[in-house]
Amino acid sequence: MADALPRDAVVSSEAEQLILVDAADREIGHDSKAACHDGHGILHRAFSLFVFNEGGELLLQQRSRSKRLWPGYWSNSCCSHPRHGEDMAQATQRRLQQEMGMRCALRFLFKFEYQADYGGFGAEHELCWVFVGRTGMPVRANATEVEAWRFVPPEQLDAEIATHPGRFTPWLKLEWKRLRAEFADALP
């Protein structure tokens, strides 16, 4: 792939400008990624991608231990934020390429607001768009973003979350529960 990044490329910073939104997802301003995650968080636009392989297994990633929030936790295939001046289609494809070294057609399913504190380190307060996709492309994870990755059958993820919920990011647990309950027919 011509636009593949080195496996250790730095692809985000605390200074990047995120999109602030209201509860109806209307853009109301911009602020740094750092400011958006300070304290209890400032509501900003985000996305979560659930990418499945051709066998119907979900790609999970373990977040880098250098992450400020939920380092070393298992999470969905890819999650991030559109930047100031970037639409959601551009942002999801950019980040999937930067983080996992792949491309994938994505289908929007739902969006929701959540807030989760991570001790004294900050918080997520996001209006998150959730997408699903399927690909046969190999994973080429970025080591600055991803500690490890694996494919897991949906039923196995259900069991792991039930048995060890503290190993997973709060947004993954919320999104996966809703995907399984309301959007099971949309999952590959």
State the Cα–Cα distance between residues 10 and 108, nearest whole angstrom. Answer: 27
Q: Which residues contact 45 (CB under 8 A, 6 or more apart)?
A: 18, 19, 20, 21, 25, 27, 81, 82, 88, 126, 127, 129
State the Cα–Cα distance between residues 156 and 116, nearest whole angstrom. Answer: 25
Catalytic residues: 79, 126
State the Cα–Cα distance between residues 68 and 88, nearest whole angstrom. Answer: 24
Closest C-alpha to 70, from 119, 127, 17, 31 = 119
State the Cα–Cα distance between residues 153 and 175, nearest whole angstrom. Answer: 16
Determine the residue type at 74.
Answer: W
Which token pair is 6? 């080195």
Closest C-alpha to 127, from 173, 82, 179 = 82
